[in-house]
Amino acid sequence: MTGTGTQAAVTFRGVGASPGMVLGSAYTLDRARVSAPMRHLSGGPTEVQAEKARLKSAVALATEQLDRLHRRFDPRSDQALILETHLLMLKDPMFLGEALRLIEQEAINAEWVVCRLVARFKSAFTDMENDYFRERYADIEYIGERVLRNLLGYRDDLELDGDDIPSGSVVVARDLSPADVAVLLRKSGVEGIVTDMGAKTSHVAILARARGLPCVVGAANLSNAVHRGDLIALDGQQGSVTLHPSPEDIERFQEQRHRYLAFGQSLNALKELPACSEDGVRVQLMGNTEHIDHLSSLLDHGAEGIGLFRTELLFLDRQELPDEEEHFEIYRAAIEALDGRPATFRTLDLGSDKMPSASAALTEREPNPALGLRGLRYCLRHRDVFIPQLKALLRAACHGPMRILFPMISSIDELIVGKECIAEARAQLEAEGKPFCADIPVGAMIETPAAAWSADKLARACDFFSIGTNDLIQYVLAFDRQNHQVAHLYQPMHVAVVRALEFVVQSAHAAGIPVAVCGEMAGDPLYTFLLLGIGFDELSMVGAQIPLVKRLIRAARAQEARDFLDQVKGCDSVEQCELLVQEEMARRFGKWLDY
């Protein structure tokens, strides 16, 4: 590790993608994109056929390269699942077929055709409402890059130059492909990752969080400023990266890191204790997930079960939807891994911005996906997709406690029809002689203003509520949270949002059913005290957020939180409300929130 020398310290700001603090040596990776100019094929049909054959060979080689890497991982690991996605995309007839057609029709070189197709996919994916699926453009870009490198004769770079990465390294790159990350996580010397590009939903962020590796993404231009061996201080919680830290910077960083680790250990001591306020109000803390690989991490952080299992994310980026058996095996494995803890499975939240393959995403687009055919609306339209999933859930429920959650409810009529579909699934299973659990709690996800303000009616027709605050805030305040021009309107403390949350809880409790929050608010410690005051029975979040939220609940009194809710409702403006919450949380819990 090189010293700081005479170079001045420079701090880069990005997005904290995975918490943790590490002081280490930069291990730079050059992942510059390759490109090629357009070339017209002037040799007639013979040259066109040769160019098509060259493209087929490049795709076949890319498939062989990724398959070789895929075989090195546990088939059920995140890395293997991501590489499977890329292999499926390479085999998508739309990709290769369209590329061959363009070569034939326009008599242009294969490299240029690949670049054009990647740009076309980028346009489709970046227009999507959902940030997770918008980030999946990186998958398309990656397979295009792999084919392009093969066409241009570059050597296979999947082994990261074959180097052994020194212990204590912080990997720095402009961007990293999922294959890059898969290889990096096999190398023991990697203690942190920083990229110029990316978001919290990119593959590098997802894999880093699953591994517990400190990570910052979106630290623009860092890779241009750093050299291999430079000293770096990375804070994955705050999203900051300091290059060439001074001795004083290092001393402060190490002190902060020591406090961070000690605080983490103190939170881990609460793992087996309940989230119970000082005056005896119990809140269940659950985990959000989409992969069974993440369950061990959730349980290690003290999750009492799964509060939200996003079933659709398991089966996207593939050529066809899963059948009943595929659904069943995943759900059964998740339930058995929980060893008696409860699990809430959200039925497929598919729609125009979430489809089973890249080709479907292009052909099924809607003018406004956020207000289109999605969630339960989609499932009720596509019973051939919905019924097999319901049958699998009913069968898996024989292996442990489970709840079924319907997304994107806007009326009691939709809820009733959804329950009728469950009855149809039961009837089919009975006719087929397959064992199943007939009595499973069914809940409504409260994401629309219609659902929120008819919660008193919905509560009589279901067994529980779960509030998706991300969408509920978006729809209540009538803004697109993916549009940077109005992103500032994402205001959890808007009086309309607070009133909606309170009304949903009051309606649920009046009907004798529990109510949960499974959106971002649940895991944000800034809102823990307020949510306790509103009266939620359950909060569901990412595993790493659970210990701190539990610490805050155990140090609070629910009656005081209810009194504070009255103060919040008395505020006239969002700014006033936010300031009140920040000051109250700092006064009560500042010694913990500093971390």
Residues labelled catalytic = 203, 518
Separation of alpha carbons 323 and 38, rounded Å:
43
The residues near 316 (Cβ < 8 Å, ≥ 6 apart) are 133, 136, 354, 355, 356, 357
Separation of alpha carbons 160 and 272, rounded Å:
41
Q: For residue 21, which of 219, 255, 311 has the smallest C-alpha distance?
A: 255
Question: Three-class SS of residue 381?
Answer: helix
The CA angle 548-549-550, to the nearest 5 degrees, is: 90
Kindly state the tokens that stand for 426. 């039961």
First-to-last CA distance in the chain?
Answer: 27
Strand partners, 192: 170
Distances (CA, A) of 76 to 53, 70, 236, 314: 34, 11, 27, 11
The residues near 76 (Cβ < 8 Å, ≥ 6 apart) are 292, 293
Residue 488 gets which letter from DSSP? G
Q: For residue 505, which of 462, 467, 478 has the smallest C-alpha distance?
A: 467
Kindly state the tokens that stand for 177. 């492909």
Distances (CA, A) of 592 to 303, 492, 519, 571: 20, 22, 22, 26
Strand partners, 16: 216
Helix 110-126 and helix 93-106, axial crossing angle in degrees, nearest 10: 130
The answer to whether the beta carbons of residues 284 and 537 sit under 8 Å apart is yes
Separation of alpha carbons 504 and 509, rounded Å:
9
Question: Which ranges in 301-344 belong to alpha helices (H)?
Answer: 324-338
Q: What is the DSSP string of 216-279?
A: EE--TTHHHH--TT-EEEEETTTTEEEES--HHHHHHHHHHHHHHHHHHHHHHTTTTS--B-TT
Separation of alpha carbons 546 and 522, rounded Å:
9
Question: Three-class SS of residue 15?
Answer: strand
The answer to whether the beta carbons of residues 202 and 96 sit under 8 Å apart is no
The residues near 82 (Cβ < 8 Å, ≥ 6 apart) are 139, 178, 182, 203, 207
